[in-house]
């Protein structure tokens, strides 16, 4: 069974994805209501890692620029 959220291949009798813990539908076709909605849209595998890396990169870049501004303002005083 392929996970609709992360694309990981799981055993057919799995109830949870081994990678992202997505809850698969049961025999009646029901899913946990907390798991439904747009928060859990499927994305291609690896894309979320790239987005996470880019977010961390820009956060560090922002903090470095902020630190440089603070240091330059302290030297001006």
Q: Give per-residue pLDDT as tens, 24-35.
A: 876 444 554 544
Q: Give per-residue pLDDT as tens, 5-24.
A: 888 899 888 888 999 988 88
Give yes or no for residue 67 having a pLDDT over 90.
Answer: yes
pTM of the model: 0.40
Contact present, 19 and 8 (Cβ < 8 Å): yes
Contact present, 23 and 31 (Cβ < 8 Å): yes
């Amino acid at each position: 069974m392929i996970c609709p959220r992360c694309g990981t291949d799981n055993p057919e009798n799995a109830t949870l994805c081994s990678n992202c813990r997505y809850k698969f539908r049961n025999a009646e076709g029901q899913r946990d209501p907390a798991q439904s909605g747009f928060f859990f849209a499927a994305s291609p595998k690896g894309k979320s890692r790239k987005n996470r890396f880019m977010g961390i990169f820009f956060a560090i870049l922002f903090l470095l620029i902020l630190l440089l501004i603070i240091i330059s303002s302290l030297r001006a005083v």
